[in-house]
Amino acid sequence: MVRGSNPPFFNINAKHNMKTNFFENIASMNTPGKWAITIHTNEQGQFTVSTLFVGIASGDKAGSAIPPLLAKGTAQELDEGYFDAIENPIQQTAAFYTNAETYLKGLEIARLASKMEQDKKNKNTPKPKVSTQEGWRTAT
């Protein structure tokens, strides 16, 4: 279901003969994330489809180096082979983002737990001074 205001030319309830399973194919990959798909056509009827997938867990800047996938062919070729061609690379990309996020979280936990970090924390914590006024020992 599309939310928000629909432009007048986009009627989600319109009856037409065209049925596609495009979004079902994306859903079947079970890879939550952001998809950027650009389709270019030329005068000869050839298509170039650029597909960029960014996983939800994208705290690692290295992911920005991943280029989009490019698929080229006729409408029939892309209808028959587009999802087969992108499925494995998209799943590898999703795994990269998940692994990178898990690694970064583990690295931070290890850093905080390290002896060196604990020593720094203890070194910077001021120790109480002992005063001996009038024979009393008090911490200040």
Q: Is position 92 within any domain?
A: yes
Query: Using only C-alpha atoms, what is the Rg of the chain?
Result: 28
- Taking only the tens place, the pLDDT of each residue in 22-60 is 999 999 999 988 999 999 999 999 999 999 998 876 666
Total number of domains in the chain? 1
Using an 8 Å Cβ cutoff, are 48 and 70 in contact? Answer: yes
Q: Is position 13 within any domain?
A: no
Q: Is position 138 within any domain?
A: no
Q: Is position 89 within any domain?
A: yes
Which structural domain, as residue segments, surrounds residue 99?
A: 34-115
Q: Is 53 exposed, middle or buried (0-12, 13-18, 19+ CB in 10 A)?
A: buried
Q: Is position 15 within any domain?
A: no
Q: Is position 27 within any domain?
A: no
What is the structure's pLDDT at 135? Answer: 56
Q: Is position 129 within any domain?
A: no
Question: Which of the residues in the chain have pLDDT under 70?
Answer: 1-17, 57-60, 117, 121, 124-140
Q: Is position 4 within any domain?
A: no
What is the structure's pLDDT at 130? Answer: 58
Distance CA 72, CA 90 (A): 17
pTM attached to this predicted model: 0.64
